Chain A
Amino acid sequence: MPTAVQFYNELEEHGFNFFTGVPCTIFKSLIGHLEVTGKYVAASREDEALGICTGAFLVGKKPVLIMQNSGLGNSINALCSLALLYEIPILLLISWRGFLGKDAPEHLYMGKSMLSFLKEMEIPTYLYEEDGALEKAVLDLNRMKKPVAVIVKNEGIK
């Protein structure tokens, strides 16, 4: 399990240089690190963050969108009619609340459905805990020019 700084450094080594999103407890330390270093744009909704990432990409940035999986629900249209339509590569860091049905009730439906939603949209998806997840995601982002999701479970980042 990496610390937030290690996780950030790994992202930076892959060239990611713009960060926005809407928080999740699972990303508390990562967003905290980004805030302290002045690298984070706090969006009000996840689809708005997709718009911000798209604009950043148009002028040369490699954007990362951090969100709770509940925010995937807010993002579906922006994914389909903006990021997928215009082929915008964005790294989606999505927390997995509701994993295995063990969580607060509001997370259970999305926890169960998240991977299916991503699969239906043909968004490549990797579990961060698996070896080389970020490397694979970066390859896909460069090759396919579309959003790619990396899923982080509870306690995935120290």
Chain B
Amino acid sequence: MKCTEVIEAVAERLQQEIVISANGYISRVLYNIRDRKRNFYMLGSMGLASSIGLGVALNSDKKVVVIDGDGNLLMNMGTLSTVGGMKPKNFLHICLDNEQYESTGGQKTNSWSIKLEKVAEAAGYLKFGKIASVDGLDEYWDAIGPVFLLIKIEPGGEKGDRVVHTPIEIRNRVIDSV
């Protein structure tokens, strides 16, 4: 599967959800496919997508969708334990796994040897799994969280333009829309 294919499928399903998208290509692809006020695009702070999402989920009734990457997730894998411990029902954690740090030139991560969905299970996520086609997304989309969904993707493909909003604009758009 391609990154754009997955993010298109996620974007089609979005209604009131607050989305936290990981820095690098993930935020960029989401921005180009469906820019919306409730998208919090991370520009830096690699590793913190799930923790930002957790802070929202613990303090809001709205559903939170975190679009994470394998490099991001591995950097702060401890956050899986915090999510598992707090068990927010409104938390959907999607990890797009291309087994590399694509935006810095394609250096390998170690995710090829790790069953990340099993790590999420062990950490206390209530629903977890891996899908090979976006057709499987619905089963996870509406499940009671915390939900973890691993989707292996191919590197490469069109990324589109960089996010044009400034960090303050990104912040204010989210605040004003919730």
**Interface pair B82/A82, CB less than 8 Å apart:** no
Interface of B is mostly: helix
Taken together as a complex, chains A and B put the C-alpha atoms of A85 and B85 apart, in Å, by 29
- Shortest A11–chain B CB gap in Å is 17
**Interface pair A43/B51, CB less than 8 Å apart:** yes
Residues A71-104 near B (CB distance < 8 A)? 77-78, 80-82, 85-88
Query: How many B residues touch A, CB cutoff 8 Å?
Result: 37
Taken together as a complex, chains A and B put the C-alpha atoms of A43 and B51 apart, in Å, by 9
Known: A58-B174, A82-B44, A86-B167. A44 touches B56 (CB 8 A): no
**Interface pair B56/A48, CB less than 8 Å apart:** no
**Interface pair B86/A41, CB less than 8 Å apart:** yes
**Interface pair B44/A48, CB less than 8 Å apart:** no
Which residues of the other chain, B, contact A49 by a CB distance below 8 angstroms?
Answer: 51
**Interface pair B45/A58, CB less than 8 Å apart:** no
Which residues of the other chain, B, contact A41 by a CB distance below 8 angstroms?
Answer: 58, 82, 86
Which residues of the other chain, A, contact B49 by a CB distance below 8 angstroms?
Answer: 51
Q: Mark A31-51, 1 if CB is under 8 A from B, else 0.
A: 000000000011111011111
Query: How many A residues touch B, CB cutoff 8 Å?
Result: 32
- Shortest A154–chain B CB gap in Å is 27
**Interface pair A51/B54, CB less than 8 Å apart:** yes
Which residues of the other chain, A, contact B60 by a CB distance below 8 angstroms?
Answer: 59
Taken together as a complex, chains A and B put the C-alpha atoms of A45 and B55 apart, in Å, by 14
Which residues of the other chain, A, contact B58 by a CB distance below 8 angstroms?
Answer: 41, 52, 55-56
A54 contacts the other chain (CB 8 A): yes
A61 contacts the other chain (CB 8 A): yes
**Interface pair A52/B44, CB less than 8 Å apart:** no
Known: A55-B20, A81-B43. A47 touches B55 (CB 8 A): no
Can you show 23 pairs from A to B with CB atoms below 8 A apart? A18-B55, A44-B76, A48-B51, A51-B45, A51-B55, A52-B54, A53-B55, A54-B48, A55-B59, A56-B55, A56-B56, A56-B58, A59-B59, A59-B62, A60-B59, A61-B55, A80-B44, A81-B44, A82-B42, A85-B43, A85-B44, A85-B45, A85-B167
Add 10 more A-B contacts to A56-B56, A59-B18, A59-B59 (CB < 8 A): A18-B59, A47-B76, A50-B48, A52-B58, A54-B52, A55-B52, A58-B40, A58-B52, A77-B45, A80-B44
What is B's interface to A at a CB cutoff of 8 Å? Answer: 18, 20, 40, 42-60, 62, 76, 78-79, 81-82, 85-86, 167-168, 170-171, 174-175, 178
